[in-house]
């Protein structure tokens, strides 16, 4: 199979409620990607998304689920639209009911 031309990067650490996490949409071989969209559970996270990062802050349990990104990959004579493979984000709740 061809390499994925778009990859959604999620930090490889436990994600806890209240944290800040940044999802990054990267083009294959660092090819430039424009007009990036992010999707959560296949729903377009609407809004003017400039750049290739989505910040989830503060993290909440409902942020869990599958994410993808999509964008125009600028490679060769004409850009094409590409969507990344899904990545599952799991947010872990704090122990007990109290916060800080």
Residues 26-76 pLDDT 10s: 998 888 999 999 999 999 997 666 789 999 999 999 999 999 999 999 877
- 96 within a domain of the structure (yes/no): no
How many Å separate Cα 84 from the centre of its chain?
A: 9
pTM for the model: 0.84
Domain membership of residue 68 (yes or no) is yes
Residue 33 domain-assigned (yes or no): yes
Q: Is residue 40 part of a domain?
A: yes
Question: SS3 string of 20-63?
Answer: CEEEEEEEHHHCCEEEEEEEECCEECCCCCCCCEEEECCCCHHH
Tell me the residue range of the domain where 60 lies: 6-87
Higher pLDDT, 81 or 94: 81
Number of domains in the chain: 1
Residues 61-74 pLDDT 10s: 999 999 999 999 98
70 lies in some domain: yes
Domain annotation covers residue 79: yes
Find the CATH number of the domain harbouring 11: 2.60.40.10
């Amino acid at each position: 199979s061809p390499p994925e031309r778009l990859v959604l990067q999620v930090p490889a650490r436990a994600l806890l409620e209240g944290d800040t996490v940044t999802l990054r949409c990267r083009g294959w071989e660092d090819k430039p990607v424009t007009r990036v969209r992010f999707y959560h559970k296949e729903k377009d996270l609407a809004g003017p998304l400039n750049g290739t990062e989505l910040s989830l802050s503060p993290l909440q349990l409902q942020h869990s689920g599958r994410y993808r990104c999509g964008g125009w990959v600028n490679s060769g004579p004409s850009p094409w639209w590409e969507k990344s493979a899904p990545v599952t984000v799991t947010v872990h709740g704090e122990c007990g009911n109290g916060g800080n």
